Amino acid sequence: MKTVVVTGCSRGIGLEFVRQLLARGDRVFAGVRRPESATVLMNLAAAAPEQLTVLPLDVTQATHRANLAATLGSRGIDLLISNAGVYGPVPDRLGETDEDGWLETFRVNAIAPRQLVEALLPQLRAGNRPCIGLLSSKMGSMGDNGSGGVYIYRSSKAALNAVGVSLARDLRDQGILTLVLHPGWVLTDMGGPNAEITVSESVTRMLAILDGASADDNGRFIDIDGSTIPW
């Protein structure tokens, strides 16, 4: 049984992570901005109160991050899945820069994941073969950008990728792995109806990657099929 922290669990990929982790017997701490609105998640917690703890967690809020760390106490984290993220303002057209929206997207997608790791470092250090999984997107790849546009989301995920590589380097000697994951084009509210992969399949594949991670994977940008994505 692993102790796992997952952020952004109200729906979609985050909620499916919780479902699959519970099904295999892990102890899960699930963060969500508004627990009172996360009906499915709260029902899961009611059915498995010893296995699932739901906490209010806006990842941009220092008090929420500190509360999560205090709730965990001396318990080690074996797996941290940093899933919370936003797409940012739409439309995002050249000539119509939404500076405030861009900055807020950076706060959620790139800055908060680093701050969350900082808040949980004592628990990660106490984990069993601890691993951090940062959910990014292939849209953050420079090499894969053949269509342009989507400046805000692309740049925020590119920044997250840079954060992930630095975490991998800085935490390597402490025995903490950091992987940057592309979940695929997933059938979620963000992915839209034309996406190519179900939420269940995406999460199953990502968990397999995280469970099988080794030192060779530290700092990799990993596609859903296990291949390396160009930066």
Q: For residue 92, what are the domain limits?
A: 3-222
Give residue 194's pLDDT.
66
Burial class (CB in 10 A: 0-12, 13-18, 19+), 118: exposed
Within a domain: 227: no
- Joined together, the tokens standing for residue 162 give 């840079």
pLDDT confidence of residue 191: 62
* Cβ pair 132, 178 in contact under 8 A: yes
Is 156 contained in some domain? yes
Residue among 209, 207, 29 at smallest CA distance from 120 = 29
For residue 75 the two structure tokens come to 């318990």
Q: What is the CATH number of the domain that holds 200?
A: 3.40.50.720
pTM for this entry: 0.96
Confidence (pLDDT) at 30: 98
CB 77 within 8 A of CB 3: yes
Q: Please count the structural domains in the chain.
A: 1
Residue 231 belongs to some domain of the structure? no
Q: What is the pLDDT of residue 190?
A: 63
Q: Is residue 175 part of a domain?
A: yes
Residue 107, in any domain of the structure:
yes
* Structural domain contains residue 229: no
Tell whether 101 is covered by a domain.
yes
Instruction: List the pLDDT tens digit at each of the 231 positions of the chain.
Output: 999 999 999 999 999 999 999 999 999 999 999 999 999 999 999 999 999 999 999 999 999 999 999 999 999 999 999 999 999 999 999 999 999 999 999 999 999 999 999 999 999 999 999 999 999 999 999 999 999 999 999 999 999 999 999 999 999 999 999 999 999 988 776 666 766 789 999 999 999 999 999 999 999 999 999 999 999
Residue 109 per-residue DSSP state: I
